[in-house]
Amino acid sequence: MEVVIKRDYDQMSKAAAQLVVDVLNTKPNAVLGMATGSTPLGLYQELVRLHQAGQVDFSRVTTFNLDEYVGLPANHPQSYHYFMDEHFFRHVNIPRHNINIPSGTTSNYPAFCQWYEGRIAECGGIDLQILGIGSDGHIAFNEPGSSLSSRTRLKTLSKQTIDDNARFFERREDVPVYAITMGVGTILDARKLVLVASGKTKAKAIAQAVEGPVTSMVTASALQLHRDATVIVDADAAAGLTMRDYYEFIYAAKPAAPKS
């Protein structure tokens, strides 16, 4: 796992956006895995900026989102469908039919989850998966205790996640209790993983994910099993890492990527 420590949120977002651009430069029809949450907002803003400046083209890209709340229709302002449209899709040129987001309103969840997995495979698998991290160390909605080989399925949210996400809803009771989420196994199948984390509230989860044991209690620790995972954090989120100097030393010694 590569750990990249940036001084602030802006630098973290730009470094993550650059990794997406690098993949698109070598594979313009790449399949991107998208994440929601406040953390990737800066990364999406940077990609939109680069697109508007004519530096990145999404016309051949396909996307798969990690997760969606159960019970929220696509036009609900707190749905992940709405979030993605608002912050990314409507600003770039990904063909609508290439955008895939789990349905929060299907009448048959098991069938939908199986279809979603099949659709990812049909598209050739995910080239780069963007990830955030929950304060309890989850990726997507793979709450503590999720099998590290889990696939897309319905998941009950933890109390911690409901508390964390209550800030987006009028009342805590409005936060959906269930979500449909790619599994940890689905995520590990992506060819490249990029996890972004910012702020003190993520420091413990990042330390556990990067330097703790691989455990289903911190599903982000599964990134340790992946051969091409990059964790990009700002200084606050890096605060609990004991090997910080070592990561900075490796990063500083890394040769610059060749420009295409």
Closest approach of Cβ 126 to ligand GLP, in Å? Answer: 15
Which CB sits closer to ligand GLP, 203 or 253?
Answer: 203
CA-CA distance, 64 to 52, in Å (whole number)? 22
Residues that bind ligand GLP (CB under 6 A): 35-39, 66-67, 132-134, 140-141, 161
Kindly state the DSSP code that residue 235 receives in the 8-state scheme: T
Residues 6+ apart with CB under 8 A from 96: none
Positive or negative, the CA dihedral 59, 62, 68, 74 is positive
Which CB sits closer to ligand GLP, 122 or 142?
Answer: 142
Which CB sits closer to ligand GLP, 60 or 226?
Answer: 226
Catalytic one among 46, 143, 164, 234?
143
Closest approach of Cβ 139 to ligand GLP, in Å? Answer: 7
In DSSP terms, 197 is beta-bridged to 233
CA-CA distance, 92 to 74, in Å (whole number)? 19
Catalytic one among 136, 164, 234, 236?
136
Closest approach of Cβ 39 to ligand GLP, in Å? Answer: 3
Closest approach of Cβ 95 to ligand GLP, in Å? Answer: 24
Closest approach of Cβ 57 to ligand GLP, in Å? Answer: 26
In DSSP terms, 2 is beta-bridged to 230
Catalytic one among 81, 138, 164, 189?
138
Kindly state the DSSP code that residue 47 receives in the 8-state scheme: H
Which CB sits closer to ligand GLP, 25 or 224?
Answer: 224
CA-CA distance, 138 to 85, in Å (whole number)? 24
Residue 85 bears catalytic tag? no
Contact between 130 and 194 under an 8 Å Cβ cutoff? The reply is: yes
CA-CA distance, 160 to 156, in Å (whole number)? 12
Catalytic one among 46, 51, 67, 117?
67
Which CB sits closer to ligand GLP, 168 or 249?
Answer: 168
- Tell me the pairing of strands 178-181 and 67-69: antiparallel
Residue 138 bears catalytic tag? yes
User: Which of the residues are catalytic?
Assistant: 67, 136, 138, 143
